[in-house]
Chains A and B, each alone.
Chain A
Amino acid sequence: MPLLRMRDATFANGDAAAGPVALTLAAGERVALCYSSPREAGIVALLAAGIVKASSGSVLIDEYDPRVQSVHCKRIAAFVPHEPFPLDEAEFARYVEYRAALWNLDLATARADAERLRARLEGMHEALAYPLIGALLAKPRLVVLDRPQPVYAPQILAAVEDCAVLSTHTDAAAARAFE
């Protein structure tokens, strides 16, 4: 059973438009999509994570439809935004607590996981590592990366372990680094 299925999924609202996107992603697989505009790449990532609802076509995350079962979808898919987080060391501890509260995770386990992931992402800029660590705390099965930095591809792919990964890019060389 595919973990993510997008059938001609499109988004259109005013001047923001993306798609149609058609793909099937099974557990543990990786797919990197390349788009000409950063905006379209961002919208497709939000569609795949179930944060934005498709205007036409469909998106199914482990057979759940984000339009009606968004909470189930968000327990399966984790979204890593493109924008870096302006957090320092002290604020990172608060951020871990905040994520643990929102996902109702055990705080001690979340802190331990955050430290383990930090060690694994050694060398990656904190502002880019923190959102990825936050996304992985809830142990998602699908990780959606919005325009990740290709220079950190080895660390990112090592950190997500056996999760299915969908990444969007605006550059073919960057996309190849995540395939």
Chain B
Amino acid sequence: MTPRAAAGVLRARLYAQRRVAYYACAAALLVGLLAPAGPAGPVFFGSLLGIILALAQSPGLHPHLDRCEQSAPLFGRELARAKALVPCVAAALATTVYVLAQAFRGGTDVPFVFVVAVAAVVTSTLVALSATIRRGFARALYVLLACATSAAAFAIAITGRSLLGELGFCAVVAFLALRQYGETLARYDPI
């Protein structure tokens, strides 16, 4: 896949979902200004926003984009990477806004909190993407798995006091989640 195709999908989907992305950033700003300081807020609220943004990629919400992508000469894994960029970028942006709002209020350890939060948010967003092409129980299970991923990343980084451990955990889970999403997308029949 060319970077141009990935950028094309990112631009088109972010434009189509610009309201959701704006609302996510606005909510992150508001909660970041009001919630108690610390890493729990950006990790869990950011993950919640990431899951919502991932579910916004579900087929049928933007049928003209879905049809173009399904008929484009791209492999499933290539399309998965391009589509995964969209909620990850939007969720990372919302998390950045949250952390900046905390920093504005005088929060401490801002770089540490930022790294912990972005890693957890991006990973849970990637896990939640697999829910978009499933229905019923399987869909709910992937959403729960995304929440559990976020909780596990938080536990490793904060309770276990291991930033490297959290980053390693997130890298492995994100890789597997993206691979799983790509394989499912390649077999997916859009009917």
Q: Which A residue sits closest to B2, measured CB to CB?
A: A104
Decide if B12 is an interface residue (CB 8 Å cutoff).
yes
By a beta-carbon cutoff of 8 Å, the part of chain B in contact with chain A is 2, 4-5, 7-9, 11-12, 15, 63-65, 67-75, 189-191
Interface pair B70/A102, CB less than 8 Å apart: no
Interface pair A102/B189, CB less than 8 Å apart: no
Interface pair B7/A81, CB less than 8 Å apart: no
Inter-chain pairs besides A131-B67, A134-B68, 11 sampled, C-beta below 8 Å:
A42-B191, A52-B190, A52-B191, A74-B71, A75-B73, A81-B67, A94-B11, A94-B12, A98-B9, A98-B11, A102-B5
- Residues of B close to A11: CB separation below 8 A: 189, 191
Interface residue total, chain A, C-beta cutoff 8 A: 35
Assess A101 versus B67: contact at CB under 8 Å? Given A46-B191, A51-B190. no
Assess A13 versus B63: contact at CB under 8 Å? Given A75-B73, A94-B15, A104-B4. no
- Residues of A close to B73: CB separation below 8 A: 71-72, 74-75, 102-103
Interface pair A102/B191, CB less than 8 Å apart: no
Decide if A7 is an interface residue (CB 8 Å cutoff).
no
User: What's the dominant secondary structure at chain A's contact region?
Assistant: helix
A130 to chain B, nearest CB (A): 9
The residue from B5, B9, B189 contacting A53, defined by CB atoms under 8 A apart? B189
A27 to chain B, nearest CB (A): 19
For window 44-100 of A, CB contacts with B under 8 Å fall at 46, 49, 51-53, 70-72, 74-75, 78-79, 81, 83, 85-87, 94-95, 97-100
Interface pair A98/B8, CB less than 8 Å apart: yes
- A147-B35 Cα distance, complex, nearest whole Å: 53
Interface pair A71/B190, CB less than 8 Å apart: no
Interface pair B190/A74, CB less than 8 Å apart: no
Interface pair A101/B68, CB less than 8 Å apart: no
Assess A98 versus B189: contact at CB under 8 Å? Given A103-B72, A131-B64. no
